[in-house]
Amino acid sequence: MTSLEMVKKTVKALDNKKAQDIQVIKIDDLSPIADYFVIATGSSTTQVKALADEVDYQMSQAKIEPKRVEGYQSATWILLDYGDVVVHVFFSQARDFYSLERLWSDGQNLDVSALLAEE
């Protein structure tokens, strides 16, 4: 599965669980960390965990397991590292505080609605 296909799968999983403000930033030209960051917000720590669980479940169904998972206990910022795709699920206040979109503003923002429309 390509990194863009992984992005599409994670975005759809997040959208299905009603994640807020889903953003995808292409960073492959900026950093060797990953090709894409997928960023989403949950309205409560319970929803943050549910969003991360759904991404993990959908990726596991595709036989893709995260290299690591961070922040699950606090559930204010859960990071799922799939190598080329890193998924960040934030509680709203944590997202505002860390502002990854600003830190990675040199990256290319992808149109999430177009990713969701593709099958």
Q: Note whether 27 and 105 are within 8 A (CB).
A: no
Q: Tell me the whole-structure pTM to 2 decimals.
A: 0.94
pLDDT band at 53 (very low <50, low <70, confident <90, very high): very high
Which residues contact residue 93 at a Cβ distance below 8 angstroms, ignoring those fewer than 6 apart? 76
Can you tell me the distance from the alpha carbon of 75 to that of 45, in angstroms, rounded to the nearest whole number?
Answer: 5
pLDDT recorded at residue 119: 59
- What class does CATH assign to 3-117? alpha beta
pLDDT value at 12 more than 70: yes
pLDDT value at 73 more than 80: yes
